[in-house]
Amino acid sequence: MDDSGVESDNFDWNTEDELEIENFQSSSSCLTVVPNGEATTGSGEASSSAGSSSSKLSDHFVGMGFPVEMVCKVIQEHGEENEDKLLEELLTYSVLKSAPQPPVKIEPDPCSSDCAISSWGDLSDSDDTSSDYEETTKSVSVNDGKLLSLVKMGYKEEEALIAIERLGLKSSLEELVDFISVAQIVKEEDVLLPPEDQPQYGDHAKLKKQRYYEYEVLGRKKPKIREKRILNNEDDEDAAVHLPNPMIGFGTPTDSTFITHRKIPREAMGPPYFYYENVALAPKGVWQTISRFLYDVEPEFVDSKYFCAAARKRGYIHNLPIENRFPLLPLPPRTISEAFPLTRRWWPSWDPRTKLNCLQTCIGSAKLTDRIRKAVENYDGEPPQHVQKYVLDQCRKWNLVWVGRNKVAPLEPDEVETLLGFPRNHTRGGGISRTDRYKSLGNSFQVDTVAYHLSVLKEMYPNGINLLSLFSGIGGAEVALHRLGIPLKTVVSVEKSEVNRNIVRSWWEQTNQKGNLIDMEDVQQLDGERLEQLMNTFGGFDLVVGGSPCNNLAGSNRVSRDGLEGKESSLFFDYFRILDLVKNMMVKNE
């Protein structure tokens, strides 16, 4: 277990999440505490490792809302060895002394690459980053009530400005707080990555060339100007993809505003139909590139909080009709209290959450939940504001729910299954560990959201559908189609994880599917010859679904994220390659 509050054994820290803003963290070398209690910045090159450790610890407690003078005093008196003991002492001091002052604003060190990340995170253009931040600063008055409120609550001005820029000036204070707080997860995740998986700098020219040009085997011409923009990740105004607010795509079941017509490029028209998903909050230029390869189809960005009680911000590119969609019934619970009614008894009035943040592949630790219990139970009534802020930040980060007096706990795997729309025990049993269950669920579709988009196929294919499911995971698309009542005639499921393949196979047998399930391990082995053999057997595919890995797309430190050229996320080009082969073969066989 790790001091950060994370159970770290055997976890894949490349979560999907959709981690909304970059964490403008100050490196330990950025903070120097002077006798008058103010914080100044400096390079810190000559500081000792002990000083660096002390600075990090003081940063941690200052970020929780304790005055910097109080933090320094407690650390000097009790040392740095026992963080829990320090927290208890700080809480005691806060009761005996006056209310804590607002946290000291710490300016980012210009020498630290981690302190200067733009809201879209592409640091290949440092000038663009600085100009973006200046424009944001100009657009939000220093006297703005929301900005001042966020700063007084202990959030950094940089974080608050980014949140206001991304969500808009009309966003509520609660939305801004949720938006900012989840970003802190990523800092902890990146630190805990094993060395071989840590983000690295490197020359990816060869891989870029290989990935961007390998589709030439299909005989396509290279649009040189456009590809240059893709490779350099240039952000011209015409190509920019802006995330909508609210993030409801072309409409949701409970929203009165619907878009019923859109223009589909001729080259993209189905059948076969295709449906591609990935994290909405990807680095700059990623969704422009995905759209260009997928026949210039406009992305549909949707947050699953409009379908269930948990957020999941995703982008979908598809050529499906958007008229006459319908949701799965009964509609799932859309608030925490509706989804988990037993928590109502213990939910404190100062916890305003009604929705959970994006469900992760990892959970908060027992040590973290015990630390929260100790922090809260020291007070007979409501804890002071700085304690509330600390607890709420941790609850938002790790989706903790109240299960007893002063007791919080992470969601259980079967509760996550419910939120994501899977049948109970979908990932349970068969030798699957609890850790693997969280990992598989965290990387899955939200079934209700996907089913709403796929619902238009029910009238089109009353006798059943032939499905090619790439990066199948635990079968979110298959479950969605089954719950819609669309028979699965043939499913070719391609999934690298043996654990996930076993989950899909078990679900297929338990639901008494009448069709044929063909599972494969590697999308890169699915070439033209193998596709032709499969399609000659059952006559072609009606739908090609996939959500390629987001490992190189999600995360806080975009300067070391490789985007679509990364080892895992570059598999998107295999989705495109296979889809284009299927389309060409079906046109040829008509």
Which residues 6+ apart lie within 8 Å of 127 measured at CB? none
CA max distance for the chain:
81
For residue 271, say if its preceding peptide bond is cis, omega within 30 degrees of 0: yes
pLDDT, residue 63, reads 67
Angle between helix 183-192 and 173-181 (nearest 10): 0
Provide the pairing of β-strand 465-470 with 543-546: parallel
Q: Is 435 exposed, middle or buried (0-12, 13-18, 19+ CB in 10 A)?
A: middle
pLDDT, residue 181, reads 65
Mean of pLDDT values over 220-232: 37
Q: What average pLDDT does the structure give for the chain?
A: 75
Q: What's the number of domains the chain is made of?
A: 1
How far is 156 from 182, CA to CA, in rounded Å?
14
Q: Is the pLDDT of residue 192 over 70?
A: no
For residue 246, say if its preceding peptide bond is cis, omega within 30 degrees of 0: yes
How far is 555 from 49, CA to CA, in rounded Å?
27
How far is 157 from 289, CA to CA, in rounded Å?
32
Q: How many CB atoms lie within 10 A of CB 94?
A: 20
Q: Is residue 14 part of a domain?
A: no
Q: Which of 448, 449, 399, 443 is nearest to 423 (CA)?
A: 448
Give per-residue pLDDT as tens, 420-449.
999 999 999 888 999 999 999 999 999 999
Least confident of 31-35, 317-321, 410-414, 495-499: 31-35
Least confident of 170-174, 348-352, 377-381, 570-574: 170-174
Name the band, by pLDDT with cuts 50, 70 and 90, for residue 91: low
Q: Is the pLDDT of residue 410 over 60?
A: yes
pLDDT, residue 517, reads 96
The separation between CA 511 and the C-alpha centre of its own chain, rounded to angstroms, equals 30
CA distances from 315 to 178, 227, 286, 377, 556 (A): 20, 22, 11, 42, 19
pLDDT, residue 77, reads 80
pLDDT, residue 241, reads 65
Q: Is the pLDDT of residue 111 over 60?
A: no
The separation between CA 77 and the C-alpha centre of its own chain, rounded to angstroms, equals 40
pLDDT, residue 4, reads 45
Q: What is the CATH number of the domain that holds 283?
A: 3.40.50.150
| CA torsion angle 203 122 356 26 (round to 10) | 90
Helix (H, G, I), strand (E, B) or coil at 38: coil
Q: Is residue 456 part of a domain?
A: yes
pLDDT, residue 183, reads 53
Q: Is residue 352 part of a domain?
A: no
Name the band, by pLDDT with cuts 50, 70 and 90, for residue 580: very high
DSSP 216: G
Angle between helix 476-483 and 498-510 (nearest 10): 20
- What domain range includes position 450? 277-331+421-589
Least confident of 441-445, 451-455, 553-557: 553-557
Backbone angles phi, psi at 454, to 5 degrees: -85, -5
Helix (H, G, I), strand (E, B) or coil at 101: coil
- Contact status, residue 117 vs residue 22, Cβ threshold 8 Å: yes
Q: Is residue 298 part of a domain?
A: yes
Q: Is residue 449 part of a domain?
A: yes
Q: Is the pLDDT of residue 389 over 70?
A: yes
Give per-residue pLDDT as tens, 235-279.
343 345 678 888 999 999 988 778 878 889 999 998 999 999 999
Q: Is the pLDDT of residue 470 over 60?
A: yes
pLDDT, residue 52, reads 53
Percent of the chain scoring above 70 in pLDDT: 66
Q: Is residue 583 part of a domain?
A: yes
Catalytic residues: 550
How far is 42 from 30, CA to CA, in rounded Å?
5
Name the band, by pLDDT with cuts 50, 70 and 90, for residue 199: very low
Name the band, by pLDDT with cuts 50, 70 and 90, for residue 75: confident
Structure tokens given for 82: 């026992």
Angle at 24 between CA 393 and CA 230, to 5 degrees: 120
β-partners of residue 544 are 274, 468
Give me the helices (H) in 172-268, please.
Answer: 173-181, 183-192, 205-213, 224-232
pLDDT, residue 60, reads 74
Q: Which residue do the tokens 């990816």 mark? A: 204
Least confident of 48-57, 169-178, 476-485, 497-506: 48-57
Q: Is residue 550 part of a domain?
A: yes
Q: Is residue 282 part of a domain?
A: yes
